[in-house]
Amino acid sequence: MVCMDDPQLPDRVARIQADWRRERPDLDISPQGVIGRLHRLADHLTEQLRPVYARYGLSEGEFDVLCALRRAGEPYERAPGELAAHTMVTTGAMTKRIDRLERAGLVARRRSDADQRGRMVALTQPGRELIDQAFTDHMRNERRLLSLLTPADAKALEGLLTTWISQVENPRPSDSE
């Protein structure tokens, strides 16, 4: 019988897989090796990324909104729906984030020049200064996290993940359709 505390197994996912192999030898549990480790790694990375956002008084979502505005280039503004598309959140969640950032003086809303019914959200000068500092620290932190891999491994992983996410987000019709 394999024990969850078996020191011969390299990590928690391997221990879970060993248990499943014992309990369900009829199933191929090999996908769990990749998916389980990606989930665990995402959790660890998020734990390491959040302190940088918090240092600037931001949540992860607010950091994301400010980054989307900064990436827009001069005049650093986007419509709320466009912001939602660039941050992968719903417009309802976006409204709450914009409200909080506006109260903090980091963004301002205004009527759209193209459509008077529409709104635009723009970085304020304090918002731009804050996100420039926060993003610099964020990149330093990401570089630190990635330095756990060799440059060759990091490049190979980026290639694999790029291929995989492309296929997940833009699936090709199967031959049977």
pLDDT tens for each residue of 5-37: 566 778 899 999 999 999 999 999 999 999 999
**Sign of the CA dihedral 67, 105, 128, 73?**
positive
**Number of domains present in the structure of the chain:** 2
Residue 29 lies in a domain: yes
Question: How high is the pLDDT of residue 84?
Answer: 87
> How far is the C-alpha of 5 from the C-alpha of 160, rounded, in Å?
31
pLDDT at 62 over 80: yes
Kindly state whether residues 126 and 75 are assigned to the same domain: yes
Residue 160 lies in a domain: no
**Band of the pLDDT at 3, cuts 50, 70, 90?**
very low
> Phi and psi dihedrals of 129, rounded to 5?
-65, -45
- Alpha helices by DSSP H, listed for 28-90, are 31-55, 60-71, 80-87
Identify which of 108, 126, 111, 123 has the alpha carbon closest to the alpha carbon of residue 67. Answer: 123
Residue 162 lies in a domain: no
pTM higher than 0.85, yes or no?
A: no
- Domain of 42 in residue numbering reads as 1-55
pLDDT at 119 over 80: yes
> Phi and psi dihedrals of 103, rounded to 5?
-60, -35
Return the minimum-mean-pLDDT range out of 134-138, 166-170, 171-175: 171-175
Residue 94 lies in a domain: yes
